[in-house]
């Protein structure tokens, strides 16, 4: 997966917006105003990309033991976030599943009103 494929995959989800709240390097994708993925553009350019993704705490621990490329979230809550490195033992298919899981966790945490507004915008 290259950065364009990653970007298009994420933006194809309902209500996703892009932001640079920390600096010009860290791309943050949000749904309903809440982060579900962060990535460094400089690391993509260097060929060492990774994503910070929200994850169910139990699943996060399981994934960290199963995959070398999945570690506690860098500069994030180690309970709720994982850092997933590309170009390792996580397939593109699995990466998409992890992005979907992160998006779903955040979307489902939004109020019913905000969820409905997002779903309405997309119709």
Query: Where are the domains positioned within the chain?
Result: 25-114
Assigned CATH topology for domain 25-114: 3.90.1150
Which phi and psi angles does 13 have, rounded to 5°? -80, 150
User: With b meaning 16 or more CB within 10 Å and e meaning fewer, what string describes 28-56?
Assistant: bbbbbeebbbbbbeebbeeeebbbbbbbe
Q: pLDDT tens digit string along 62-112? A: 999 999 999 999 889 899 999 999 988 999 999 999 999 999 999 999 999
Positive or negative, the CA dihedral 82, 110, 99, 48 is negative
Residue 105 in contact with residue 54, Cβ under 8 Å? Answer: yes
| SS3 (DSSP) at 73 | coil
Please tell me the pTM assigned to this model.
Answer: 0.94
């Amino acid at each position: 997966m290259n950065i364009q494929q990653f970007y298009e995959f994420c933006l194809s989800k309902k209500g996703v917006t892009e932001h640079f709240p920390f600096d010009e390097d860290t791309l943050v994708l949000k749904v309903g105003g809440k982060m579900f993925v962060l990535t460094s553009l400089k690391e993509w350019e260097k060929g060492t990309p990774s994503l910070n993704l929200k994850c169910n705490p139990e699943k996060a621990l399981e994934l960290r033991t199963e995959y070398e490329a999945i570690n506690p979230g860098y500069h994030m809550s180690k309970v709720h976030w994982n850092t997933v490195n590309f170009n390792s033992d996580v397939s593109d298919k699995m990466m998409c599943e992890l992005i979907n899981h992160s998006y779903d966790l955040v979307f489902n945490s939004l109020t019913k009103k905000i969820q409905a507004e997002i779903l309405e915008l997309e119709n």
